[in-house]
Chain A
């Protein structure tokens, strides 16, 4: 008895001929195309950002006056929901969206390794995100969620629906992230076009590979913690009761071992994107790409190692500290910024809007680092300083890099560039908003105002600082709205699509049309260096017939 069939992987479908099929709602629902999945991820993430932003505005409004409606645990829960939505439902999935769209193009594959699994991960993420918001509507959940290092024991008679729903929704989002990360890692490792070795990988793809591998290792730790948390809530085994010895450290470690790298992973893809953006607009390869790759790997390694930096692992999941081990992450970021500056100095001088966002990231990160240095000498534990640092370093700086990536790859994502004027207004709003919010919260912290509380001494300078922070939030929201409105305009524009390669790009995503066809590439390109399009242009200038050699 023999088995004679061709191995299914060898049967690659030919690119579809004829006109591009119209985008129907059914088509979007059942799609496994990496480009559509990328846009779906990005769109959903922006929707959740809107929710997170509204929650943030409610919190800031509460801090404007004394003794208004939201106080105590209610304020804490809202704060927790704001943090959870803004990080787990916005930044991380938005990067998955960018990666899903751009990485298969950058590696010349034009498809994902497990497209159906990727589609499943998106719908799982959407379901999880929806359930997380629902949990607050039907609840609200007990405890302070992810921002608390103290686990929430089950109440009398077992857990309530809202808390159980919150835990399940977080598990769904985490599983979705795990599946998407695994798919992206396999895509980069196995589907690269011939000649595109790991050393020649574009920096965004390298950063996505690195962050995906860390996600694959760290997320199950979080899932195990959530499983215990859920069972404790559901069955009431008193695992997280205050009297149970060792249980708090179990929760802190599971939360921390996921939360620490997760905070860093919100920035890691952005660092890779920053490298590609700078190199593209400088119209030359990054100065020392090997150093860039090493810095990205070091950043990922430190993100896992930073688990040990928490004082007794007693801090909350999203609380950046300034311990020596954490401070080490400044080094790889510093190396990358120096590489960017050197590349810009050696290359074409042209301030594209995407570079403006990258510059904004550098300034905001420097602002955060400066305040971290000040905080090392001042006592700011448990003060509003932490809120400011979260907004500046853990959320603001990565968001600027995300928006830089959207501006940079807009020709591929939407078929045309974003209007520079609108994008720059968005930049001013986002950068200025984060800066003012951070400044207000830092000053509040130095003034001794506590963190995560709805009321403080309004007779002091704190009131002025709080108003400054609220002003920043308003500016930020307006900036984001302007940016998203421009994205929608570009996506829905009826004008003819823009050029395939508006920047004289270096990497393969610029070798296909804008937006790419459903099959991404008309032919699978062969690569002989890290920047095949530059080689091709140089060869054309010199009259050579094909791409250049090794660099």
Chain B
């Protein structure tokens, strides 16, 4: 039994560790499981029998296509921002992030508009409930993404990010996840029906 801590050889200064990428990878994995479950639930209900979607439901495909197109286009400014940061072009990175935020806000606005235009809601029938759940989760995911991109924009504008940091790349991973989720939801609800 020893009363004092053992005299270990020291490893010197603590190694800097960038924990953000791994944390984001886990977050994206969780998000994938979340959307995967909701989509699986949709498909289970769809194949369980009965009329699907219920009679009288008209889903505006144009709005659905525009929603997914908006998200797909938003990939470009996010990648542009990453590219600019790698080359130490702060103003370009900030501009690109601003454009990405614009796409995100446009998506949320269009999603809200679409919800008002549909002739069903969560209370109408199981189809309405699960479609609303999918859209609501997607809206939350994109809203979180807009928040993260905004935060990154402030950090870029405030000169807090260096060429070597993974913060912007990590934010881009999350954004691309939301794009993937919106494509999956679109394919399930609009294409497969």
Which residues of chain A are near B37, meaning CB under 8 Å?
A: 220-221, 224-225, 254, 257
Contact of B12 among A231, A524, A546 (CB under 8 A): A524
Which residues of chain B are near A235, meaning CB under 8 Å?
A: 121-123, 129, 132
Q: Mark A540-551, 1 if CB is under 8 A from B, else 0.
A: 000000110000
Determine whether B191 belongs to the interface, using a CB cutoff of 8 Å to chain A.
Answer: no
The answer to whether B30 touches A7 (Cβ under 8 A) is no
The answer to whether B9 touches A525 (Cβ under 8 A) is yes
A-facing residues in B1-35 (Cβ within 8 Å) = 1-19, 22-23, 26-27, 29-31, 33-34
The answer to whether B23 touches A186 (Cβ under 8 A) is yes
The answer to whether A250 touches B44 (Cβ under 8 A) is yes
Q: Distance (Å) between the CB of B50 and the closest chain A CB?
A: 5
The answer to whether B5 touches A238 (Cβ under 8 A) is no
Minimum CB distance partner of B156 in chain A? A3
Q: Which of A87-95, A190-198, A446-454, A463-471 is near enough to bind chain B?
A: A190-198
Which residues of chain A are near B49, meaning CB under 8 Å?
A: 245-246
CA distance A547 to B14 in the complex (A): 19
Determine whether A8 belongs to the interface, using a CB cutoff of 8 Å to chain B.
Answer: yes
The answer to whether B48 touches A245 (Cβ under 8 A) is yes
Q: Distance (Å) between the CB of B178 and the closest chain A CB?
A: 15
Minimum CB distance partner of A499 in chain B? B3
Which residues of chain B are near A4, meaning CB under 8 Å?
A: 159, 162
CA distance A391 to B27 in the complex (A): 34
CA distance A227 to B130 in the complex (A): 10
Minimum CB distance partner of A246 in chain B? B48
The answer to whether B11 touches A194 (Cβ under 8 A) is yes
Indicate whether A246 sits within 8 Å of B47 (C-beta atoms), given known contacts A220-B30, A239-B130. Answer: yes
Minimum CB distance partner of B123 in chain A? A235
CA distance A10 to B133 in the complex (A): 42
Indicate whether A523 sits within 8 Å of B8 (C-beta atoms), given known contacts A217-B29, A239-B129. Answer: yes
The answer to whether B5 touches A3 (Cβ under 8 A) is no
CA distance A500 to B4 in the complex (A): 6
The answer to whether B16 touches A228 (Cβ under 8 A) is no
Indicate whether A220 sits within 8 Å of B34 (C-beta atoms), given known contacts A2-B88, A525-B9. Answer: yes
Indicate whether A3 sits within 8 Å of B122 (C-beta atoms), given known contacts A9-B16, A182-B23, A182-B26. Answer: no
Q: Mark A365-391, 1 if CB is under 8 A from B, else 0.
A: 000000000000000000000000000
Q: Mark A221-246, 1 if CB is under 8 A from B, else 0.
A: 10111011001101111110100111
B-facing residues in A171-214 (Cβ within 8 Å) = 178, 182-183, 185-187, 189-191, 193-195
The answer to whether B125 touches A237 (Cβ under 8 A) is yes
Which residues of chain A are near B66, meaning CB under 8 Å?
A: none
Contact of A185 among B4, B26, B41, B130 (CB under 8 A): B26
The answer to whether A526 touches B122 (Cβ under 8 A) is no
Which residues of chain B are near A239, meaning CB under 8 Å?
A: 126, 129-130
Determine whether B115 belongs to the interface, using a CB cutoff of 8 Å to chain A.
Answer: no
CA distance A114 to B49 in the complex (A): 46
Minimum CB distance partner of A525 in chain B? B8
CA distance A190 to B125 in the complex (A): 47
The answer to whether B129 touches A231 (Cβ under 8 A) is yes
Determine whether A315 belongs to the interface, using a CB cutoff of 8 Å to chain B.
Answer: no
CA distance A249 to B48 in the complex (A): 10
Determine whether A275 belongs to the interface, using a CB cutoff of 8 Å to chain B.
Answer: no
Residue among A228, A257, A512 facing the most chain B CB atoms (10 A cut-off): A228
Interface size of B by Cβ–Cβ distance < 8 Å? Answer: 64
CA distance A12 to B3 in the complex (A): 29
CA distance A232 to B126 in the complex (A): 8
B-facing residues in A502-524 (Cβ within 8 Å) = 502-504, 510-513, 522-524
Q: Mark A488-504, 1 if CB is under 8 A from B, else 0.
A: 00000000000111111
The answer to whether A524 touches B34 (Cβ under 8 A) is no
Which residues of chain B are near A227, meaning CB under 8 Å?
A: 38, 133, 137
Minimum CB distance partner of A12 in chain B? B14
Which residues of chain B are near A32, meaning CB under 8 Å?
A: none
Which residues of chain A are near B5, meaning CB under 8 Å?
A: 500-501, 511-513, 522
The answer to whether B30 touches A228 (Cβ under 8 A) is no
The answer to whether A228 touches B41 (Cβ under 8 A) is yes
CA distance A367 to B37 in the complex (A): 37
Determine whether A219 belongs to the interface, using a CB cutoff of 8 Å to chain B.
Answer: yes
Indicate whether A220 sits within 8 Å of B1 (C-beta atoms), given known contacts A3-B88, A246-B47. Answer: no
The answer to whether B90 touches A3 (Cβ under 8 A) is yes
Which residues of chain A are near B123, meaning CB under 8 Å?
A: 235-237
Determine whether B57 belongs to the interface, using a CB cutoff of 8 Å to chain A.
Answer: no
CA distance A329 to B31 in the complex (A): 28
The answer to whether A533 touches B6 (Cβ under 8 A) is yes
Determine whether A460 belongs to the interface, using a CB cutoff of 8 Å to chain B.
Answer: no
Determine whether A288 belongs to the interface, using a CB cutoff of 8 Å to chain B.
Answer: no
Which residues of chain A are near B159, meaning CB under 8 Å?
A: 3-5
Q: Distance (Å) between the CB of A295 and the closest chain B CB?
A: 24
Determine whether A536 belongs to the interface, using a CB cutoff of 8 Å to chain B.
Answer: yes
The answer to whether B162 touches A228 (Cβ under 8 A) is no
CA distance A322 to B125 in the complex (A): 38
Which residues of chain B are near A10, meaning CB under 8 Å?
A: 16
Which residues of chain A are near B91, meaning CB under 8 Å?
A: 1
In the complex, besides A9-B16, A533-B6, 9 extra interface pairs with C-beta distance below 8 angstroms are: A3-B161, A182-B27, A191-B19, A217-B33, A221-B33, A228-B41, A231-B122, A501-B5, A524-B10
6 smallest CB-CB distances across A and B, nearest first, come from A246-B48, A237-B129, A526-B11, A224-B37, A245-B48, A235-B122
Using CB atoms and an 8 Å cutoff, list the residues of chain A in contact with chain B.
Answer: 1-10, 12, 108, 113-114, 178, 182-183, 185-187, 189-191, 193-195, 216-221, 223-225, 227-228, 231-232, 234-239, 241, 244-247, 249-250, 253-254, 257, 499-504, 510-513, 522-527, 532-533, 536-537, 546-547
Using CB atoms and an 8 Å cutoff, list the residues of chain B in contact with chain A.
Answer: 1-19, 22-23, 26-27, 29-31, 33-34, 37-38, 40-41, 44-45, 47-50, 85, 88-91, 121-126, 128-130, 132-133, 136-137, 156, 159-165
